[in-house]
Structure 1
Amino acid sequence: MPRVLVDAAAVPADRGALIRYVDGLVAALHRAGADLAVVCQRAEAERYRLLAPSAHVLTGPVAITNRAARLAWEQSGLPLLARQVGADVIHAPYYSIPIRSGLPIVVTVHDATWFTEHDRHNPRASFFRSATRTAVRHAQRVIVPSKATRDELVRVLSADPTRIDVAYHGVDLMQFHPPSEEEVHRAAARCGLHGQPYVAFLGALAPRKNVPNLIRGFASAVKALEKPPALVLGGGVHEDDVDAACREVEATVKVVRPGYLRAPDLPGFLGGALVVAFPSRGEGFGLPVLEAMACGAPVLTTCRTSLPEVGGDAVAYTEPDAGSIAAAIGQLLASPERRAQLRQAGLARAGEFTWDASAEAHLSSYQRAIE
């Protein structure tokens, strides 16, 4: 079996869904018996040793906590390290790659919305567009988490579809599970809800996530209710357009922004919600949808890009405009039976996405790169 070097040092400090991808993949590669080396930042070394006890875990220099230094090290230090550990292939899990490594490169491109939704990204999007173009041009294999992302790369970058491999993400059912009453109570208490029911959102409060329209749609859906639920926006930094949408809603509408939530609180937060609403305008995969289903939450999302590949018939769908979101949330809040149906369907659907299956797809891609 070839030796694979996974560059986990590329994981950004804010972690989020990317770290769940890298962690889930590394642990599953270990279970599959892969000959695995992992390079990471020093603060993460012990975690990777626990995730993959048989892996050769190495740490990069201290300076790579700085983004510019890490990118420079990626071009020279990473290939040198790969040769030192006898790697046959390098897996770059976050867009950017070493250009002249002397070894086959497999890169994960997580989504194409840097191109298709370019006006809904922050100024850093120019880096990701450049990194994606370079990766698609120079890597031996490109791994994407959905067929929709593959098709978009072919459409917008004229990428060679024969060099792109689809490997769906999985979900860790130990971490994401139907919560106990205690877990629900603890998560709600951390959000300051004091027993008030709520609709949940989890993810970055970035423009393409469509949070302002979620706020407006939610406010419209609950304004006539005698005891309306709250809307809780978990994760991400506060964006100006989100602040503006919050100022538009009536004082009787409660919008809570607790910031990043601790990993142990996520099952209670997601599974305890009346509805998990994720009306994104475009996703490479949509991991929050899968994780919410695994927690037994009724999920509302859009029928855009990869989201139908993840949700299938187990979620409710809406258009991304505020009016459609209002109608969809209103229908779900008015129908406990429909929410119960979605809970059961979502649990069954989530069971179809495993990190073990994802690891097998990655191993096949590594072998193709070497060949």
Structure 2
Amino acid sequence: MVLPADEPYASASGAVSAVAHALTRHLLDRGAQVEVLSPRAGVPTHPAGEVRELWSAGNRPLARRAAARVRRALARENDAWAAYRREVVRRSTGDAVIVHNDARLARLVAVSGRPTVLWLHNLLAAQSGEDVRAFAAHGGTIVGVSEHVRAWTVREHRVPEGRTTVVHNALDHDVFRPPDRWQPGPSLRVVIHGRIDPNKGQVLAAEAVALARSRGAAVELSVAGAVKTFGMSPPDVEAYVARLDDALRAAGARRLGPVPAAQVPALLAGSDVGLALPTVPEPFSLAALECMASGCAVVAVPLGGLAEVVGDAALLCEPTTTDVADALCTLASDPDALARRRAAALARAGRFTWEDSAERTLAVLHDLLGR
């Protein structure tokens, strides 16, 4: 199990690390031996698996078993991840290697002769296309965390359908669970959690809640997460945060900031409705799944893999203030509808288990190894 160079195998990391940890635990439960290669974290790593933290030493030799073409490919690299990739190729010793989210690294490991899986949590940029195609040509298997990711990769990077499959993300249902007793309160308790970014819909959520409240609906909004944007200049980030704060004040909302992972389940279990309002297609949406497993009704914009997660259990809407406000007003005014949506969401979430994902992973590995 190989983590990307920018995401250590630690609880302080992101979703890729969390997924790798969950898969490792459940593969171990099924008798597999799992070694995890990770960039050095500087903090305690996840406990599952035999963890090897790699330091990026550009002058360390490649394993002799690596083919000469691997060395030539590495020599052409100029990016900051090259030393880490060299070390991974040198240290990969398992019967099969799962590489998370790094097509170049997966290609190099496959070329070195190791049966390899490229596990895609996101849509890889166009410049990764050559590596993705070369990886598939060397017999590698590509796993997407959703059908959306798999189909997009086949279409945009022109890889054979037969080299791809899907293993959905999941969650621990003993951690994310509904309250023992739930009943609607005087106000509809709405939450949106996760990375705060213009593409994640926090401003839309606040504006929709403000509109719903102006119509007389009793709605309370909590926003949890840290501001973490990509590709934005500091002035643009500052302007975005100012706009978000203005929208939250107008909605009478609470901005909770980063919430420790151990406290997220209680936050969601204490909410009535979870919002999933992306403005661009989501690869999957662990946040929506966490809300559903916690017993929240979900209002969602069904873009990308998010549509696969929520299915017909969510109240679907367009990414407009009016549409989202309409959905919230419906749930705030009809306790029976709210209860039905909560029950549907919980039932839908039950389909996504790490036990099932681990079994699917083993099937992928057995097929790759010809067993």
Band the TM-score falls in, shorter-chain normalisation = 0.7 to 0.9
Does the 8 Å contact 2:222/2:256 carry over to 1?
no
| Aligned mate of 1:134, from 131, 135, 145 | 131
1:24 aligns to 2:50 (yes or no): no
Instruction: Supply the AA of the counterpart residue of 1:142.
Output: I
Shift in Å at residue 251 of structure 1? 4.9
Does the 8 Å contact 1:104/1:369 carry over to 2?
yes
* Shift in CA distance, 177/226, structure 1 to aligned 2, threshold 3 Å: closer
Instruction: Supply the AA of the counterpart residue of 1:130.
Output: Q
Other-structure match for 1:58: 52
Instruction: Supply the AA of the counterpart residue of 1:258.
Output: L
Shift in Å at residue 257 of structure 1? 2.4
Higher relative contact order (CA 8 A, sep 6+): 1
1:89 aligns to 2:96 (yes or no): yes
Shift in Å at residue 270 of structure 1? 1.2
Residue-by-residue CA offset, 1:252-289 (whole Å, 9 max, x unaligned):
52233222211121111112123111111311111111
Residue-by-residue CA offset, 1:4-45 (whole Å, 9 max, x unaligned):
xx1136462662322321111111111121132112345489
* Shift in CA distance, 334/233, structure 1 to aligned 2, threshold 3 Å: farther
Residue-by-residue CA offset, 1:322-367 (whole Å, 9 max, x unaligned):
2211211221222222221122222222121111211122222233
Residue-by-residue CA offset, 1:126-150 (whole Å, 9 max, x unaligned):
xx54346523542511110111221
Residue identity over aligned pairs, in percent, reads: 24
Other-structure match for 1:125: none
Q: Which range moves more in the overlay, 90-99 or 339-348? A: 90-99
With structure 1 as the length reference, what TM-score do the two structures score? Answer: 0.78
Does the 8 Å contact 2:144/2:165 carry over to 1?
yes
Q: How far apart in 1 are the matches of 2:296 and 2:30?
A: 30
* Shift in CA distance, 356/249, structure 1 to aligned 2, threshold 3 Å: closer
Shift in Å at residue 47 of structure 1? 4.4
Q: How far apart in 2 are the matches of 1:134 and 1:223?
A: 52
Q: Which range moves more in the overlay, 153-162 or 96-105? A: 96-105
Instruction: Supply the AA of the counterpart residue of 1:369.
Output: L
* Shift in CA distance, 328/18, structure 1 to aligned 2, threshold 3 Å: same
Secondary structure at the aligned position of 2:81 is classed as helix
Q: How far apart in 2 are the matches of 1:150 and 1:206?
A: 24
Other-structure match for 1:117: none
Other-structure match for 2:306: 307
- Structure 2, gaps ≥5 residues long: 59-77, 230-236
Does the 8 Å contact 1:45/1:58 carry over to 2?
no
Q: How far apart in 1 are the matches of 2:36 and 2:217?
A: 54
Shift in Å at residue 172 of structure 1? 0.7
Other-structure match for 2:343: 344
Secondary structure at the aligned position of 1:12 is classed as coil
| Aligned mate of 1:35, from 8, 33, 56 | 33
Secondary structure at the aligned position of 1:229 is classed as strand
What is the alpha-carbon root mean square deviation over aligned residues?
3.0
Q: How far apart in 2 are the matches of 1:148 and 1:286?
A: 12
Q: How far apart in 2 are the matches of 1:42 and 1:75?
A: 13
* More helix as a share of residues: 1
* Shift in CA distance, 366/226, structure 1 to aligned 2, threshold 3 Å: closer
Does the 8 Å contact 1:228/1:253 carry over to 2?
no
Other-structure match for 1:124: none
* Shift in CA distance, 257/167, structure 1 to aligned 2, threshold 3 Å: same
Q: Which range moves more in the overlay, 94-103 or 332-341? A: 94-103
- Structure 1, gaps ≥5 residues long: 1-5, 115-127, 182-194
1:218 aligns to 2:215 (yes or no): no
* Shift in CA distance, 32/73, structure 1 to aligned 2, threshold 3 Å: farther
Shift in Å at residue 159 of structure 1? 2.5
Q: How far apart in 1 are the matches of 2:218 and 2:170?
A: 37
Other-structure match for 2:256: 258
Secondary structure at the aligned position of 2:312 is classed as coil
Does the 8 Å contact 2:4/2:102 carry over to 1?
no
Other-structure match for 1:105: 116
Other-structure match for 2:89: 79
Q: How far apart in 1 are the matches of 2:248 and 2:260?
A: 30
Q: How far apart in 2 are the matches of 1:240 and 1:46?
A: 32
Secondary structure at the aligned position of 2:244 is classed as helix
With structure 2 as the length reference, what TM-score do the two structures score? Answer: 0.78
Shift in Å at residue 233 of structure 1? 3.8
1:205 aligns to 2:170 (yes or no): no
* Shift in CA distance, 357/331, structure 1 to aligned 2, threshold 3 Å: same
Instruction: Supply the AA of the counterpart residue of 2:154.
Output: V
